[in-house]
């Protein structure tokens, strides 16, 4: 009996040692796999260090209506919008350089009337930053905005053009970027130049104090110095559904700092496949130096500063470049 007990004890000890060795091997295997994954991630990050990452999306949305002997009435209509959104980003060590370009142009023609513009935009953004740690960057920002062609009001008067207006902004501040989906830039010291090169926008007036987009009559530029904030957020809400929103605020210290300029846009993208997608976009703008055709209490047109809002629904082809 004593011999059997000894053998049983030795068997239990051997099985325990084997199981412990297997568990230890399993732990070691998981540790090796984790270390390999971390090394692979570092290698992928290192392989991209110092290289440019470029992306671009071009979309084209078209609408056409043709009527022949249509008893309910209506007009033949053709409309379309072309949009390009591209990025080029670079990172090396603690330095990062992010660039984006937005180009948009759209128009429509109703029956035999002259074509009318429905969208016109050129916007370039560039940000260079140095990582200070804890998701904070010391950064400089450059922004340039204008449009491709002239624009007219409902009465056919020219109210805008290429570089009329144009905006060039340069700021130095702090950029907070906790992840790839969110970033916020704050600059207490920002210079902005407003450009108006089309002298016809002053309507032949001799008033030296008359301003168009903030630029005085007889001049082509206006220097503004103020504070600037820019925030961007993007996320994937569901498979093939993405949402992006970004906004910026600028306050001119030199003239009416309480009248802050606001730009806020949103974009919803509903992807059907690699070639076809639907988009819903909105843009809200307030600029105290921009006159809009407001109406007074009597219904008369009274141009002055006001909130501008645009909503666009697009359904069409999309190409990734």
- CATH number of domain containing 279: 2.40.230
Q: How many domains does the chain have?
A: 2
Both 99 and 61 in one domain: the answer is yes
Both 258 and 178 in one domain: the answer is yes
C-alpha angle 141-147-153 in degrees, rounded to nearest 5: 135
Within 8 A by CB and 6+ apart from 275, the residues are 317, 318, 319
Strand partners, 120: 105
pLDDT digits (tens, 9 = 90+) for 130-188: 999 999 999 999 999 999 999 998 788 899 999 999 999 999 999 999 998 999 999 99
C-beta separation of 191 from 170 below 8 A: yes
Both 64 and 86 in one domain: the answer is yes
pLDDT digits (tens, 9 = 90+) for 44-61: 445 568 899 999 999 999
Asked which of 32, 48, 64 is the last residue of a domain, the reply is 48
Both 40 and 67 in one domain: the answer is no
Both 171 and 70 in one domain: the answer is yes
Within 8 A by CB and 6+ apart from 211, the residues are 217, 222, 289
- The confidence score (pLDDT) of residue 245 equals 97
Residue 188 backbone dihedrals phi, psi, to 5 degrees: -80, -10
Both 67 and 176 in one domain: the answer is yes
Strand, coil or helix: what is 67? coil
Please count the other Cβ atoms lying within 10 Å of the Cβ belonging to residue 116: 14
Integer Cα distance of 316 and 203 in angstroms: 40
Integer Cα distance of 254 and 289 in angstroms: 14
Integer Cα distance of 75 and 255 in angstroms: 47
Both 12 and 108 in one domain: the answer is no
What is the span of the domain harbouring residue 152? Answer: 50-320
Structure tokens at 246: 């970004």
Strand partners, 253: none
- The confidence score (pLDDT) of residue 4 equals 46
Both 44 and 57 in one domain: the answer is no
Integer Cα distance of 261 and 133 in angstroms: 31
Both 75 and 217 in one domain: the answer is yes
Q: Considering only CA atoms, which of 78, 53, 54, 76 is closest in space to residue 64? A: 78
* β strands within the chain, DSSP E: 52-65, 77-92, 95-110, 116-133, 136-146, 151-152, 158-160, 166-179, 182-195, 211-212, 215-216, 221-238, 241-252, 261-271, 276-286, 307-320
Q: Within the chain, which residues score under 70 in pLDDT?
A: 1-48
Both 69 and 167 in one domain: the answer is yes
Both 209 and 77 in one domain: the answer is yes
Both 284 and 148 in one domain: the answer is yes
Indicate the pTM of the whole model: 0.83
Integer Cα distance of 82 and 119 in angstroms: 9
Integer Cα distance of 69 and 303 in angstroms: 41
Within 8 A by CB and 6+ apart from 204, the residues are none
- The confidence score (pLDDT) of residue 2 equals 44
Structure tokens at 65: 């209506």
Residue 165 backbone dihedrals phi, psi, to 5 degrees: -95, 165
- The confidence score (pLDDT) of residue 133 equals 95
């Amino acid at each position: 009996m004593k011999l059997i007990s000894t053998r049983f004890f030795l068997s239990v000890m051997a099985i325990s040692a084997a199981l412990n060795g297997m568990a230890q091997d399993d732990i070691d295997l998981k540790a090796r796999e984790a270390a390999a994954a971390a090394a692979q991630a570092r290698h992928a990050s290192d392989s991209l260090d110092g290289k440019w990452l470029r992306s671009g999306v071009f979309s084209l949305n078209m609408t056409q209506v043709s009527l022949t002997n249509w008893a309910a009435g209506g007009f033949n209509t053709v409309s379309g919008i072309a949009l390009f959104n591209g990025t080029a980003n670079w990172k090396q060590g603690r330095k990062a350089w992010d660039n984006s370009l937005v180009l948009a142009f759209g128009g429509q023609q109703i029956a035999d009337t002259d074509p009318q513009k429905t969208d016109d935009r050129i916007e370039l953004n560039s940000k260079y930053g140095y990582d200070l740690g804890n998701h904070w960057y010391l950064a400089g920002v450059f922004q340039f905005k204008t449009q491709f062609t002239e624009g007219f009001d409902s009465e056919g008067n020219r109210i805008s053009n290429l570089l009329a207006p144009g905006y060039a902004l340069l700021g130095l501040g702090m950029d907070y970027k906790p992840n790839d989906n969110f970033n916020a830039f704050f600059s207490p010291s920002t210079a902005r130049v407003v450009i108006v090169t089309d002298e016809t926008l002053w309507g032949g007036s001799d008033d030296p104090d008359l301003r168009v987009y903030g630029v005085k009559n007889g001049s082509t530029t206006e220097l503004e110095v103020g504070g600037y904030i820019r925030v961007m957020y993007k996320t994937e809400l569901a498979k093939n559904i993405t949402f992006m929103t970004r906004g910026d605020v600028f306050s001119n210290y030199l003239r009416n700092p309480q009248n802050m300029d606001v730009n806020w846009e949103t974009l919803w993208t509903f992807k059907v496949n690699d070639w076809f997608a639907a988009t819903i976009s909105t843009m809200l703008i307030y600029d105290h130096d921009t006159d809009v055709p407001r109406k007074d209490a009597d219904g008369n047109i009274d141009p002055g500063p006001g909130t501008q809002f645009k909503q666009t629904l697009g359904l069409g082809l999309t190409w990734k470049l």
